[in-house]
Structure 1
Amino acid sequence: MNAQRWMDGAQSALFIVGFVLLAVWFKGQSDTAAFQRRESRALDAAIGRAGAQDAVVRGSESRVRARNASSRTRRVIGRIEIPRLGISAMIGQGIEPRILELAVGHVETTAQPGEPGNVGLAGHRDSFFRGLGNIRERDVIRIVTARGTFRYRVQWGAVVEPGRVDVFDSTATPSVTLVTCYPFDAIGPSPQRFVVRATQIDPNAAAVAVATPLARAEFQRRPS
């Protein structure tokens, strides 16, 4: 009788724990969706006010630097879009765990969109960057900000060790580097990182319509 009572109690406890964990998960998903909707609407409103809807930023390097100077203190700096993959997510300032729960994170020591150098962005493989494993060479990445839209073309993808923070080093050509955990289907902590590098497209350059898959050998060869 005591054993049966213990079993019943254990089952009830497990049910409660499972229910609580599920509720916490749903709450997290709800918070993330609400944050994305709210900040996306705010960005679109800011673009409308600035008269910069669908604009591609032109202008001198010094003006871009001046416009971006205040971005480092903002909670959200823009939105990343990869049209072919259906990826669209707000970009938060920083890569703290709470930020990465709500958005793609901007590595604060890297360039801002439109600045010379390398814009570093990080995202979870099981949320905003879930589809990143299907990226192709020459895919277009857009970073939409209140100051304009910056377009980048994918050059390469690579699987690297977690310590390869040099992928965020400054670059001679304005670039964006995306990083997420790898493998995408790993359970628990991921042993490696998947990196995508794209370079900024000249505002006057014609769009390239054809995209070719990145070869597996390319993943292993870059970066050197």
Structure 2
Amino acid sequence: MRKWIGLLAIVVGLAVALPNAYQWWKQRHTVEAMSNSELNEYLSYDDTVREPVKKLPGSKDEIKLEKGQEVAHLLIPSIESKYPVYWGTDPETLKQGVGMHDSKWTVTPEETGHVLLAGHRDTVFTEMGDVKIGDMVTVKYHDKEYTYQVRKTFITEAEDRSVVVKKEEPLLTISTCYPFEFVGDAPYRYIIQSELISVK
């Protein structure tokens, strides 16, 4: 009888753990290593502080974006990683990988304002703690490349919504849970803020 109870406990444990393990594996595999040619292109930027671009070309995006739709790519040469970016930061979209925040305070890269990206620290953003001030971050969006330079990193409470605010200058914020090694719902958020330095 004990043997059957033990086997049943193992089966139940696997039934609970396997879907979560698969979800982790699926998200983790959305992160691509940047190719040598991509690294050579993006690492050619120097890390000097520059004046940010004040105005962006173009007007507000007229295309209707659907929740969960792949809309961009995020490239971070300093950690040799490339991520697909999906529209929205709801729980279902973040299961796919990196999400681009949709709100009245945030914009898409072709607009002047605040672009906010979010992702889970235990899947796609495990290396975010290695991104340093001065590093370059590029968002490929609608056939243009928006390159930002990291200006500031900080930690805030998980409930702190002051990060999601309107900005008058082109700014990129990357948000993920913190601490990186924490098991369960992390109590803090790790924030990386960057200013736009070029569009091509």
TM bucket, shorter chain: 0.7 to 0.9
Q: Which residue of 2 aligns with 1:105?
A: 99
Residues 98, 124 of structure 2: 8 Å contact kept: yes
- The equivalent of 1:72 in structure 2 is 65
Normalising by structure 1, what TM-score?
A: 0.70
Q: Distance in 1 between matches of 2:170 and 2:64?
A: 17
Displacement of 1:17 after TM fit?
1.9
Tell me what 1:27 maps to: 22
The residue matched to 2:116 in structure 1 has which SS?
Answer: strand
| 1:170 maps to 2:166 | yes
Query: What SS class does the counterpart of residue 3 from structure 2 fall into?
Result: helix
Q: Which has the higher helix share?
A: 1
Share of identical aligned residues, percent?
21
CA deviations 1:132-158 (Å, max 9, x no partner) are: 011100101111123311100000000
- Residues 1:91 and 2:85 are matched in the alignment: yes
1:201 maps to which residue?
197
- Aligned residue number for residue 150 of structure 1: 146
Q: Secondary structure at the match of 1:27?
A: helix
Would the alpha carbon gap of residues 178 and 171 (structure 1) be closer, same or farther in structure 2, given more than 3 Å must change? same
Contact 1:153 1:198 in 2 (8 A): yes
Letter in 2 for 1:144: K
- Aligned length, in residue pairs: 177
Structure 2: tracts of 5 or more residues without a match? 33-41, 43-52
Say whether 1:81 aligns with 2:91.
no
For the residue of structure 1 that corresponds to 2:63, the secondary structure is helix
The alignment partner of 1:119 has SS state of: strand
State how far apart, in whole Å, the 1-side matches of 2:133 and 2:26 are. Answer: 34
Moved more, 163-172 or 187-196: 163-172
AA matched with 1:155 = R
Contact between 1:105 and 1:122, CA under 8 Å: does it hold in 2? yes
Greater per-residue strand proportion:
2
Give the alignment's Cα RMSD to 1 decimal: 2.6
Q: Partners of 2:118 and 2:3 in 1: how far apart?
A: 45
Going from structure 1 to structure 2, the CA distance change for 1:20 and 1:144 (only over 3 Å counts) comes to same
- TM norm structure 2: 0.78
Shift of 1:70: 1.3
Could you tell me how far apart the structure 2 residues matched to 1:62 and 1:156 are? 25
In the alignment, what sits opposite 1:189? 185
Which digits, 9 at most, give the CA deviation of each residue in 1:95-127, with x for residues without a partner? 111211112111101110121001011100011
Flag the structure with more relative contact order, 1 or 2, with Cα contacts below 8 A and sequence separation at least 6: 2
Q: Is there any run of 5+ residues in structure 1 with no aligned partner, and where?
A: 41-53, 205-224
> Quick one: which amino acid aligns to residue 86 of structure 2?
G
Q: Is the 8 A contact 1:72 1:108 kept in 2?
A: no
